[in-house]
Structure 1
Amino acid sequence: MSAASVRRPPVFPHLWLLWFGGSQVLLLAVWWSAGWLAMLPVWLLSHGLLLWGTFRPGSRVLGPVLTRLPTREREVWLTIDDGPSADTPAMLDLLDAHGAKATFFLVGARAVKQPALVREIVRRGHGIGNHSMGHPAAWFWALGPVRMRHEVDRCQRALTDLTGRPPRWFRAVVGMANPFVSAALKPHGLTRVAWSARGYDGVAADPERVVARIERDLAPGAIVLMHEGAPHGHNVAMLALLLQRLDAQGYRTVLPA
């Protein structure tokens, strides 16, 4: 699995403006020539694509995104969002016990308050990803270009200062990436990462059900989404069970370069 085959940093971050702007010109032309009823399907299609690109984590409408690894081997990429947290040390011990590796998508504001945990993640050989500075879960999808750049830039600087290496991966908050995300990622060469297997462990509290959902989507190259520090307090138990199931099914965890 080569780095070139995995990384997908944005090249033309404003490409969406071309098709969306063109659709609005078409919309006006149809309205002028045939009236608003004929215009309605064009309006629905153009705005529907914009919404789909924003709210669908794996959509490529607004820019490149990685949803799985290009491999046929029984390998998965384990990713853990929202740290660092009080769960981090126990999760690191579990990963060590299973000989597993993960990429931790860290929130910048939480990282700067717990620098020792961030450095410990790196010291134990795990990856670090950018998960925004403040994790504005309710309205990340609606951020404008200045605030979006602020969230990405500040987190990138914080994690680079703490670890001595710039993250290469970015995960949108709640997976929702609006039209301004790609422009914020391009200067840093960041690749947006989504997922192909999740158990909703950020809100669901039953480890068996969470891991069963993940197992249904396990396949070679799957990107597995997990969380830490959720209010229900069961993320460590969920990771423990998932690692047991991965071992039992012959999967190994890998870190893309």
Structure 2
Amino acid sequence: MTAPETLYRPHTPRAGRPRHLWAWALAASQLAVVWLWWRYGWQAGLPAMVLSHAYFMGQVFLPRSRLYAPVVRTRPGSGAAVWLTIDDGPSDDTPAMLDLLDAHDAKATFFLVGERAARQPALVHEILRRGHDLGNHSDSHPQAWFWALGPKAMAREIGQAQRTLAGIAGTPPRWYRSVVGMTNPFVAGPLHAHGLQRVAWTARGFDGVDCEPVQTVARIARDLAPGAIVLLHEGAAHGHNPAILRGVLAELETRGLRAVLPEPVAG
């Protein structure tokens, strides 16, 4: 589903750190490798090359890394509040999770997959009707190869999801989460073009894969504190996502924490 032009316009890009700073750092590191190889031979040059390549590759898989794109790493705002984020919807779990959030007077940002949203627009409207927020979580959620997408494929994944969600909601999302948190050098361009802010997390229980609810909630609870960004999922095959959300909401109440949508982030 593509948004009508009257509904969707990319946001005006915000000023910030240079988007290609990583490229200068990579070039500088390789010049250092060349110098070490020339000065001390392969015994120094080869390990330096391997380590430098491992560093730049490893940053792709670190959800909180800022090397390739800016990222929100704690909940914007103050007070005894956390940010609940729910990935991979909409799904058959969405209505139950919305009911749980209502019962606890909690708000969340739903990071939606464009293709899934296009198939179930009524669920997207229901998320918004109940006072929650939307985020961009790619168009097709290619989790096995998202890390390796080139510039055109990455722009398509982010841009098409943005157009789909804007067409359903009437306004474009402002938040984005990379698939499995993986962020390669080609993510920053589409985020800049669409005015999106990338969001990481500080508390997770690995509820997107086969898990046991009590243990999963306990893993999340270890990192619950004011300013936490909680990563949750919906629609996983194990069927426990609503139960896990229920446990997290109960844990928040026990600790005197509220699940509140974040304040705007300055550009």
TM-score band by shorter chain is: over 0.9
> 1:140-164: per-residue Cα shift (whole Å, max 9, x none)?
0111111111100000000000001
Tell me which residue corresponds to 1:188. Answer: 194
Aligned amino acid, residue 180 of structure 1? F
Question: Is 1:239 the counterpart of 2:245 in the alignment?
Answer: yes
What's the secondary structure of 2:231's corresponding residue?
A: strand
| Mapped partners of 2:235, 2:66: distance in 1 | 29
* Range that drifts further, 104-113 or 197-206: 197-206
Measure the CA separation in 1 of the matches of 2:175 and 2:165: 12
Residues 102-143 of structure 1, C-alpha deviations (whole Å, 9 max, x = no match): 000000000000000011111111010000000001110111
More off after superposition, 22-31 vs 76-85: 22-31
User: Shift of the alpha carbon at 1:62?
Assistant: 1.9
CA contact (8 A) 1:168 1:190 kept: yes
Counterpart residue number, 2:168: 162
After TM superposition, the score normalised by the length of structure 2 is: 0.89
* Contact residue 71 and residue 220 of structure 1 kept, 8 A: no
1:103 aligns with 2:98: no
Alpha-carbon distance, 1:65 to partner: 1.1
Give the equivalent residue in structure 2 for 1:24. Answer: 30
Gaps of 5+ in 2: 1-13
Q: Give the corresponding residue for 2:148.
A: 142
Query: So what's the TM-score if we normalise by structure 1?
Result: 0.93
User: How many residue pairs were aligned?
Assistant: 250
Q: CA RMSD in A?
A: 1.6
1:74 paired to 2:80: yes
With over 3 angstroms needed to count, the CA separation of the structure-2 counterparts of 1:232 and 1:9, relative to structure 1, is farther
Q: Tell me the distance in 1 between the aligned counterparts of 2:41 and 2:189.
A: 36
1:89 aligns with 2:131: no
Q: How does 1:4-83 map to 2 (within 5 A)?
A: 11-71=17-77, 73-83=79-89
Deviation digits for residues 148-193 of structure 1 (CA, Å, limit 9, x no counterpart): 1110000000000000111111100001111111122110111111
Bigger drift between 22-31 and 168-177 goes to: 22-31
- Residues 105 and 170 in structure 1, CA contact (< 8 A), matched pair in contact too: yes
CA distance in 2, matches of 1:167, 1:39: 46
Is the aligned partner of 1:201 residue 2:210?
no
User: Which amino acid counterpart does residue 27 of structure 1 have in structure 2?
Assistant: V
Q: In structure 2, the residue corresponding to 1:46 is in which secondary structure?
A: helix
1:216 match:
222
For the Cα contact (< 8 Å) 1:10–1:186, is it kept in 2? Answer: no
Distance 1:43 1:113 in 2: 47
CA contact (8 A) 1:9 1:191 kept: no
Question: Where do 4+ consecutive residues of structure 1 move more than 4 Å?
Answer: 8-11
Q: Which runs of 5+ in 1 are unaligned?
A: 1-7
Residue 48 of structure 1: how far off its partner (Å)? 2.2
Question: How many angstroms apart in 1 are the aligned matches of 2:24 and 2:149?
Answer: 20
Among all aligned residue pairs of Structure 1 and Structure 2, give the percentage whose two residues are the same amino acid.
58
Question: In the alignment, residue 125 of structure 1 is paired with which amino acid?
Answer: G
Q: C-alpha displacement at 1:56, in angstroms?
A: 0.9
